[in-house]
Amino acid sequence: MSGILEGKRVLITGVLMESSIAFHAAKLAQEQGAEIILTAFPRPTLTERIAKKLPKPTKVIELDVTNDEHLGRLADLVGEELGGLDGVVHSIGFAPQDALGGNFLNTPFESVATAMHVSAYSLKSLTMACLPLMQNGGSVVGLTFDAQYAWPQYDWMGPAKAALEATSRYMARDLGKQNIRCNLVSAGPIGSMAAKSIPGFSDLASVWDSRSPLEWDLKDPEPAGKGIVALLSDWFPKTTGEIIHVDGGLHAIGA
């Protein structure tokens, strides 16, 4: 049997460590038949080393999603490698340290603006940079952390994720006529590089020990990776503007 992404061409951001959700999405995408290309910032050499652990070799392009020059050249670089795109994975998030860890009421706007630009607006800017390559439609999949709630220590990344979720819905509205679907995977906590940058991450993650209906493993990014691959495939042909929870079911439990 061929894989569910057979013949698909997918750009994947955010592969920083083997423990990252993006790495597992890339690995599963290749195993399911996709050709992939990775982007990285600020250390493409780190991603190139991690990429060697994927089933097949793949090219890594330097991409700062806040840099208009990088975004402007992206379609040409990806087009030279893959010819076009059928999918884009947005796994990008960043907030300065003074926007995390219990400093919510004292964070300056400059730090909030950085978090919003990198973590939310970049979904739109990345997708628009890739749009010339998606002539036959496709699927854009981003990663969020349930923005319905105020999480311990998460601070301004919470509003940034809320903005990301709203951005995905508006993109779904405006890109549907081009047969481009825009969805998010809301994953439970994973012990990735992004998680390690959040002061007090263990306090946040401990919620899953007591409230998740399904046992949650901080060391297992594969379930979220599978969710991404499913949304990239043709098995969700009429699903857009959606948030798929891969969080052990915690989002459904009040207490």
Binding-site residues for substrate: 95
Give the dihedral sign, CA 175/180/181/183: negative
Which entry of 149, 154, 219, 226 is annotated as an active-site residue?
A: 154
Q: Which residues contact 144 (CB under 8 A, 6 or more apart)?
A: 161, 164, 165, 184, 185, 186, 187, 243
**Dist. CA 241–CA 131, nearest whole Å:** 17
Q: What distance lies between CA 32 and its chain's CA centroid?
A: 19
- Binding-site members are 14, 20-21, 64-65, 92, 95, 161, 190-194
Q: Which residues contact 161 (CB under 8 A, 6 or more apart)?
A: 93, 119, 120, 144, 145, 146, 147
**Cα atoms in the Cβ-side hemisphere of radius 13 Å centred on 217:** 8
Which entry of 8, 27, 124, 161 is annotated as an active-site residue?
A: 161
CA distances (Å), origin 52, targets 2, 10, 38: 24, 17, 12
Instruction: Determine contact, residues 20/220, Cβ cutoff 8 Å.
Output: no
Q: What is the DSSP string of 97-138?
A: GGGSSS-GGG--HHHHHHHHIIIIIHHHHHHHHHGGG-TT-E
Q: Please give the structure tokens belonging to residue 221.
A: 């990014």
The reply to whether 56 belongs to the active site is no
- Binding-site members for NAD(+) are 14, 20-21, 64-65, 92, 161, 190-194
Instruction: Determine contact, residues 158/144, Cβ cutoff 8 Å.
Output: no
**Dist. CA 211–CA 73, nearest whole Å:** 45
The reply to whether 154 belongs to the active site is yes
Catalytic (active-site) positions: 154, 161
